[in-house]
Amino acid sequence: MLDIKFVKENPELVKENIRKKFKEEKLPLVDEVIALHDKMLDALHRAEELRANRNRLSKQIGALMGQGKREEAEQVKREVSAQAEELKALSESESALSAELKEKLMKIPNIIDPSVPVGKDDSENVEVEQFGAQTEKDFEIPYHTDIMAYFSGIDKEAAGRVAGEGFYYLMGDIARLHSAVTAYARDFMIDKGFTYCIPPFMIRSQVVTGVMSFEEMDAMMYKIEGEDLFLIGTSEHSMIGKFIDTVTPGESLPLTLTSYSPCFRKEKGAHGIEERGIYRIHQFEKQEMVVICKPEESMDWFNKMWGYSVELFRSLDVPVRTLECCSGDLADLKVKSYDVEAWSPRLKKYFEVCSCSNLGDAQARRLGIRVKDADGKKYFAHTLNNTVVAPPRMLIALLENNLFMEGDEYVVRIPEALRPYMGGNAEIRRK
């Protein structure tokens, strides 16, 4: 959410930013919030005048009563009563204007970083760098759920009967590999100095609207019927929410956290769930990294964070590349974002496995996450988040890149980094 003062001082810059995001339908919001704020200021000034006048008249009533001028005092009392009604109406109007102003401000996109390429949608994202040679196999690689099924590692049919489409059972060595990935990712981030955390898996609406745009909320979040609670779509939501309405001393920053959680998503919209595979599903698990820092440090942390994802994937023998999201592919709160994509030797192309985002002070402004410097000055922190691993997608990359043929049998070679979490086993074979 942008500061209204910034919007009023830079209306054309805010409008140009909206155009860069190809969201022309939001252009009227800029003039609307300026007009609303002016109207709210008028109401505030009038209310201040009435309060000052009420104080003056109250003193006048006391003086008149002291002089025995009861009739004149009663007339002034009636004037005070009439102004009290106007003051009440102004107060109600001010509250309504403030709520409307906040709602409209929250729909205006954050100002993107100047380095972000301008493009309409994800088809215009820009490759930054590739890491690791693209693996090629001399045999046809099965679809990822077929690989899992070969090792008796997945049951989507039973999950469909239990929960419907978009769910799955993982079984045996594949389930163990899934857990190994999350455990390794947890320890990888702890070794980077991040504090491990298991957060609440449900959050209140105040936190939801603080961490994401209304469009994302509608497309992603599951609401708990009869409760002011939503299932989290990623642990970033509850991790950022942890600091709602707090003031952190500047010397305590940065706050670096890595969190594990299940994630729940409606996957409503253009992509939808994937009926056959487990790339887009309603429920999955994830290891996340979150940083809360000073504004001047946020871009340094952005580069460190996506670098951690690249390092982790390369340690598991998975080739990856980084892709910069163009302006039209950035969610409204984001300043800058990189996707980390893993190589699929089956498809001979990359697919998204991580998303690293710098949100500037947008989430902090919505949630009241502030920093106090040594001089006592308070300002809004910057927040960043990045996927460490989301194992369903990581499993796809891991299985395809580490699948080999021995005779007429498939074998999955377990990367050395994961072997301690797999009982020391170096491979997975069909039993």
> Roughly how many angstroms between the first and final C-alpha of the chain, as a whole number?
55
SS3 labels along the chain? CCCHHHHHHCHHHHHHHHHHCCCHHHCHHHHHHHHHHHHHHHHHHHHHHHHHHHHHHHHHHHHHHHCCCHHHHHHHHHHHHHHHHHHHHHHHHHHHHHHHHHHHHCCCCCCCCCCCCCCCCHHHCEEEEEECCCCCCCCCCCCHHHHHHHCCCEEHHHHHHHCCCCCCEECHHHHHHHHHHHHHHHHHHHHCCCEEECCCCEECHHHHHHHCCHHHHHHHCEECCCCCCEECCCHHHHHHHCCCCEEEEHHHCCEEEEEEEEEECCCCCCCCCCCCCCCCCCEEEEEEEEEEECHHHHHHHHHHHHHHHHHHHHHCCCCEEEEECCHHHCCCCCCEEEEEEEEECCCCEEEEEEEEEECCCHHHHHHCEEEECCCCCEEECEEEEEEEECHHHHHHHHHHHCEEEECCEEEEECCHHHHHHHCCCCEEECC
* Residue 336: per-residue pLDDT: 98
Q: What pLDDT shows up at residue 291?
A: 98
**Mean pLDDT across 384-393:** 93
The mean per-residue pLDDT over the stretch 407-420 comes to 97
Q: Per mean pLDDT, which range of 53-62, 241-250, 401-410 is the poorest?
A: 53-62
Q: Which domains does the chain have, with CATH numbers?
A: 4-105 (1.10.287.40), 122-429 (3.30.930.10)
Give residue 415's pLDDT. 97
Determine the average pLDDT of the residues in 324-335: 96
Looking at residue 248, what is its pLDDT?
97
In contact, 32 and 79? CB cutoff 8 Å: no
Q: Which residue has the higher pLDDT, 305 or 282?
A: 305
Tens-place pLDDT, residues 239-294:
999 999 999 999 999 999 999 999 999 976 555 556 678 888 899 999 999 999 99
pLDDT digits (tens, 9 = 90+) for 308-325: 999 999 999 999 999 999
pLDDT of 93: 85
Band (391; pLDDT cuts 50, 70, 90): confident
Provide mean pLDDT across the span 373-380.
95
pLDDT band at 70 (very low <50, low <70, confident <90, very high): confident
For residue 245, what are its two tokens? 């309405």
Q: Is the pLDDT of residue 155 over 80?
A: yes
Statement: residue 201 has pLDDT above 80: yes
Amino acid in position 274: E
pLDDT exceeds 90 at position 48: no
H/E/C letters for each residue in 108-119?
A: CCCCCCCCCCCC
Q: How confident is the model at residue 354 (pLDDT cuts 50, 70, 90)?
A: very high
Rounded alpha-carbon distances, angstroms, from residue 174 to 61, 125, 185, 280, 406: 83, 33, 17, 18, 19
The mean pLDDT of 54-80, rounded to a whole number, is: 71
Give yes or no for residue 345 having a pLDDT over 60: yes
For 107-144, how does the pLDDT look when each residue is reduced to its tens digit (9 = 90+)?
999 999 999 999 999 999 999 999 999 989 999 999 99
pLDDT given for residue 187 in this prediction: 98
380: pLDDT strictly greater than 80: yes
Q: Report the percentage of the chain scoring pLDDT > 70.
A: 96
Average pLDDT taken over every residue of the chain: 92
pTM of the model: 0.88
Longest dimension (CA), the chain: 113
pLDDT at res. 272:
57
Confidence of residue 329 (pLDDT cuts 50, 70, 90): very high
The stretch 347-371 carries a mean pLDDT of 96
76 pLDDT band, cuts 50/70/90, is low
Q: Does residue 106 register a pLDDT over 80?
A: yes
**Percent of the chain at pLDDT exceeding 90:** 79
Could you give the CA distance from residue 220 to residue 356 in angstroms, rounded to a whole number?
18
Higher pLDDT, 68 or 379: 379
